[in-house]
Amino acid sequence: MAAPMPPVSQQPAPFPEEEALLARAEDADAAQADAFTEMSPVGSFSVESLNILVDSLNDVLPIFDVPEPYPSFEEGIEEGPLPAEFIGAIEMIRAAAMDAGLERLAPDVTAAADDAALEDVAIKLDTLAENQTFRTFLKSPDGGPEEEVAAEEAAVAEETVSDEEVDALFAERL
């Protein structure tokens, strides 16, 4: 029986270009984590409010095909930032809601400073989890239903109807 393969991160890269690409990807991941940490609100958050938000987040994540739910918090946060991964997941949903044209439902956790603000974000996530327009937008391969409607309107506008066809339609109605 062959020995198990080590994880990809521990395997030597066969090409120098691949090593450079992996290094740039790690740098990009670190920069993204730093950006989410900077975006993170600082405040006092109870474990109950944090976990209400986690439950709401976990209701939306399956729509994005995220297999693992975000873990519950074991304790509250006193005068500290929220975890970067947590902010990243909520920002992903916010960006998708904005792209779907649902700006009023886009959760903005960056301004949260207390439990009430976290619960407001949770309400928006709950609403998005059940919103059919949002679900349809995420499942459409071409960017959403807005483009489909625009294409249908363009097709209708391109149709030309002759005067004889108009007269025939009016005659049918009489």
In a domain, 174, yes or no: no
pLDDT of residue 148: 46
Beta bridge partners of 80: 43
Number of domains in the chain: 1
pLDDT in tens, 82-128: 888 888 899 999 999 999 999 999 998 888 888 999 999 999 999 99
pLDDT of residue 149: 47
Lowest mean pLDDT among 42-46, 109-113, 166-170: 166-170
In a domain, 14, yes or no: no
DSSP 8-state secondary structure symbol assigned to residue 65: T
Lowest mean pLDDT among 50-59, 66-75, 139-148: 139-148
pTM: 0.64
Range 29-32 contact pairs with CB under 8 angstroms and sequence separation of 24 or more: 32/88
pLDDT in tens, 133-143: 999 998 887 65
Domain carrying residue 52? 26-141
H-assigned helices in 61-114: 84-99
Is residue 1 classed exposed, middle or buried when 0-12, 13-18 and 19+ CB atoms within 10 A define those classes? Answer: exposed
Beta bridge partners of 45: 77
pLDDT of residue 18: 73
pLDDT of residue 153: 47
- Residue 144 sits at the vertex; the CA angle it makes with 143 and 148, to the nearest 5 degrees, is 105
Cα radius of gyration (the chain): 25
Given a contact cutoff of 8 angstroms between Cβ atoms, the answer to whether 124 and 147 are in contact is no
In a domain, 62, yes or no: yes
pLDDT of residue 35: 60
pLDDT of residue 96: 93
How far is 25 from 17, CA to CA, in rounded Å? 12
Confidence of residue 173 (pLDDT cuts 50, 70, 90): low
How far is 171 from 76, CA to CA, in rounded Å? 74
- Specify the higher pLDDT residue, 29 or 149: 29
Across the chain, mean pLDDT equals 78
In a domain, 7, yes or no: no
In a domain, 34, yes or no: yes
Q: Tell me the backbone φ, ψ of residue 92, rounded to 5 degrees.
A: -60, -45
In a domain, 5, yes or no: no
In a domain, 56, yes or no: yes
* Rounded percentage of the chain residues whose pLDDT exceeds 70: 66
In a domain, 118, yes or no: yes
- Specify the higher pLDDT residue, 112 or 53: 53
